[in-house]
């Protein structure tokens, strides 16, 4: 089929990597310290977010608000069935919707990336019969994973995650609306993790072409869940690196800060996955006229994936707690080693100080009347007194060192 004259072929958008493996320099570079001060840009971003939250207080429910940092929208339409496939990015929504209306017997996936066009968002809301409260959820900064029934089908929200090279978890919202012959998705970013689904649609041999649009919604949910595993794998690799640093004796305050930071990320990840499990469980409880039994079978597999991701998060949370205990034990052992060295040095100087202090007492050999006191340190006046005293001090030190060595106090054995 010849595409419309004003439409342009879909430019392949870069897919998010499965996960970004942190480089070795990321752990040693002072510029990547987790405890560094916030930059001016971060402070401005936090202040902007706070001001937007305050502006929304008291607004009428269903009020649509576009964030200032929202990207210009890109409209991508994929039309398909078992024998037909058409993928196009449109510059004009009117042309896209006209093409959509000309093929009511086909299945459509309309992917909207970027929200920075309130007029377009309102038209989508009207044309696809979206409730204002649900569209408000689409545009919100954060919406937990959930599922709701709509007049035409279902409204699903998922959270896409990625462990970045900055050693933090980033998540983006994916909103999905299903209808009799379409799936409508909203994202606030151009990059996503949905490229495997697009590839399956392009091949023509996938069951996606034959099954109803709700199956496409399942496939999108499934690929989001599948990307939780690379995220957790990257976190696991990071935890192993931190553990090696502790065992190698390279642990410092930055390591503790990183452990606490990744602990926060794991807690955040678990907060993202737990609603996903509840969402799928609610899908499985829906009547068959909403979610057919043949589709529920696939969502049960998603449910298993969500449980496994939660188990991984719980396991890594325990690992982080163990790392904190290991770090504290390592620091305690280091302190003990320092105290041992200081104690040995003090033990060596205690008898030396006693001898030197003993001979530092000012007993006069000659009395004021001129008589001699033979018992007042006569060795002070011996020509060999000083060398003998030095030899005695050396013998004391050597004896102590030999004794400490035999006790194993001077070695790590």
Q: What is the pLDDT of residues 224-247, one digit of tens each?
A: 999 888 888 888 888 888 888 888
Helix (H), strand (E) at residue 43: helix 40-56
Q: What's the whole-number mean pLDDT along residues 169-189?
A: 91
pLDDT of residue 52: 64
Number of domains in the chain: 2
Q: What gap in Å lies between CA 42 and CA 168, rounded to an integer?
A: 15
Residue 6 domain-assigned (yes or no):
no
Examine the domain organization and report whether 370 and 254 are in the same domain. no
Residue 18 domain-assigned (yes or no):
no
Burial class (CB in 10 A: 0-12, 13-18, 19+), 60: exposed
Asked which of 40-49, 88-97, 266-275, 400-409 is least confident by mean pLDDT, the reply is: 40-49
Examine the domain organization and report whether 369 and 268 are in the same domain. no
pLDDT reading at 380 higher than 90 = no
Examine the domain organization and report whether 123 and 240 are in the same domain. yes
Band of pLDDT at residue 374, cut at 50, 70 and 90: confident
pLDDT of residue 238: 87
pLDDT reading at 21 higher than 70 = no
Examine the domain organization and report whether 179 and 220 are in the same domain. yes
Specify the higher pLDDT residue, 295 or 32: 295
Examine the domain organization and report whether 300 and 387 are in the same domain. no
CA distances to 316, 318, 332 from 322, rounded to whole Å, are 10, 6, 15
**Boundary-marking domain end, from 279, 309, 331:** 331
pLDDT reading at 156 higher than 50 = yes
How many beta carbons lie within 10 A of that of residue 194, not counting itself? 22
Examine the domain organization and report whether 267 and 376 are in the same domain. no
CA distances to 39, 251, 268, 324, 376 from 34, rounded to whole Å, are 12, 14, 17, 16, 67
Token pair of 232 as six digits: 């957790």
Residue 16 domain-assigned (yes or no):
no
Residue 32 domain-assigned (yes or no):
no
Examine the domain organization and report whether 390 and 308 are in the same domain. no
Structural domain range at position 398? 362-407
Token pair of 71 as six digits: 């990207």
**Boundary-marking domain end, from 290, 309, 331:** 331
Band of pLDDT at residue 63, cut at 50, 70 and 90: confident
Question: Per-residue pLDDT tens for 88-140?
Answer: 999 999 999 999 999 999 999 999 999 889 999 999 999 999 999 999 999 88
CATH number of the domain residue 92 falls in: 3.30.460.20
Contacts for 45-53: CB closer than 8 Å, 24+ residues apart = 49/141, 52/141, 53/141
Token pair of 225 as six digits: 């869940």
Token pair of 182 as six digits: 């379409």
Q: What gap in Å lies between CA 29 and CA 38, rounded to an integer?
A: 17
Task: Compute CA 248 distance to the chain's CA centroid, rounded to the nearest angstrom.
Answer: 24
Examine the domain organization and report whether 188 and 274 are in the same domain. yes
Examine the domain organization and report whether 401 and 298 are in the same domain. no
Question: Per-residue pLDDT tens for 283-340?
Answer: 999 998 899 999 999 999 999 999 999 998 899 889 998 988 888 888 888 888 889 8
pLDDT of residue 276: 92
pLDDT of residue 55: 63
**What is this structure's pTM?**
0.72
Specify the higher pLDDT residue, 31 or 410: 410
Residue 12 domain-assigned (yes or no):
no
Asked which of 25-29, 252-256, 282-286 is least confident by mean pLDDT, the reply is: 25-29
Examine the domain organization and report whether 321 and 392 are in the same domain. no
Residue bearing tokens 């325990």: 318
pLDDT of residue 361: 79
Residue bearing tokens 């054995």: 413
pLDDT of residue 58: 62
pLDDT of residue 36: 44
Question: Per-residue pLDDT tens for 68-97?
Answer: 778 899 999 999 998 899 999 999 999 999
Instruction: Please check whether residue 172 is in contact with residue 159, taking contact to mean a CB–CB distance below 8 angstroms.
Output: yes
Mean pLDDT, rounded, of the chain: 82
Q: What gap in Å lies between CA 89 and CA 364, rounded to an integer?
A: 107
Q: What gap in Å lies between CA 143 and CA 133, rounded to an integer?
A: 12
Residue 8 domain-assigned (yes or no):
no
pLDDT of residue 153: 92
pLDDT of residue 27: 42
Residue 264 domain-assigned (yes or no):
yes
Examine the domain organization and report whether 249 and 386 are in the same domain. no
pLDDT reading at 24 higher than 60 = no
Residue 200 half-sphere exposure toward CB, CA atoms < 13 A: 15
Examine the domain organization and report whether 250 and 210 are in the same domain. yes
Band of pLDDT at residue 28, cut at 50, 70 and 90: very low
Residue 352 domain-assigned (yes or no):
no
**Boundary-marking domain end, from 331, 351, 371:** 331
Nearest CA among 395, 412, 152 for reference residue 290: 152
């Amino acid at each position: 089929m010849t595409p419309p004259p004003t439409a342009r072929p879909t430019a392949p958008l870069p897919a998010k990597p499965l996960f970004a493996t942190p480089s070795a320099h990321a752990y040693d570079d002072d510029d990547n310290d987790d405890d560094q001060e916030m930059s001016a840009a971060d402070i401005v971003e936090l202040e902007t977010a706070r001001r937007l939250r305050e502006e929304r207080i008291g607004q009428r429910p269903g009020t649509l608000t576009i964030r200032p940092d929202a990207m210009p929208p890109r409209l991508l339409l994929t039309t398909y069935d078992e024998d037909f496939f058409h993928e196009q990015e449109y510059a004009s929504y009117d042309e896209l919707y006209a093409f959509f209306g000309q093929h009511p017997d086909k299945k459509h996936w309309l992917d909207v990336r970027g929200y920075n066009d309130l007029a377009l968002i309102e038209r989508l809301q009207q044309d696809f019969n979206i409730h204002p409260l649900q569209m408000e959820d689409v545009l919100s900064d954060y919406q937990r994973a959930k599922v709701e029934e709509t007049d035409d089908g279902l409204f699903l929200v998922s959270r896409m995650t990625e462990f970045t090279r900055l050693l933090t978890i980033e998540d983006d919202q994916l909103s999905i609306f299903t209808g009799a012959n379409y799936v409508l998705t909203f994202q606030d970013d151009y990059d996503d993790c949905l490229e495997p689904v697009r590839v399956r649609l392009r091949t023509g041999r996938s069951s996606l072409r034959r099954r109803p649009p709700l199956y496409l919604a399942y496939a999108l949910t499934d690929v989001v869940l599948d990307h939780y595993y690379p995220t957790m794998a990257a976190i696991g690799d990071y935890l192993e690196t931190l553990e090696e640093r502790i065992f190698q004796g390279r642990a410092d305050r930055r390591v503790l800060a990183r452990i606490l930071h990744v602990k926060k990320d794991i807690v955040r990840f678990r907060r993202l996955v737990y609603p996903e499990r509840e969402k799928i469980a609610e899908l499985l409880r829906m009547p068959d006229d909403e979610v057919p039994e043949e589709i529920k079978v696939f969502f049960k597999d998603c449910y298993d994936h969500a449980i496994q991701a939660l188990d991984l998060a719980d396991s890594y949370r325990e690992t982080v707690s163990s790392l904190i205990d290991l770090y504290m034990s390592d620091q305690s052992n280091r302190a003990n080693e320092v105290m041992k060295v200081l104690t040995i040095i003090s033990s060596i100087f205690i008898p030396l100080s006693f001898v030197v202090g003993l001979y530092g007492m000012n007993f006069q050999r000659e009395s004021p009347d001129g008589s001699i006191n033979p018992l007042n340190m006569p060795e002070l006046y011996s020509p060999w007194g000083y060398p003998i005293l030095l030899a005695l001090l050396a013998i004391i030190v050597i004896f102590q060192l030999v004794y400490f060595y035999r006790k194993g106090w001077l070695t790590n054995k």
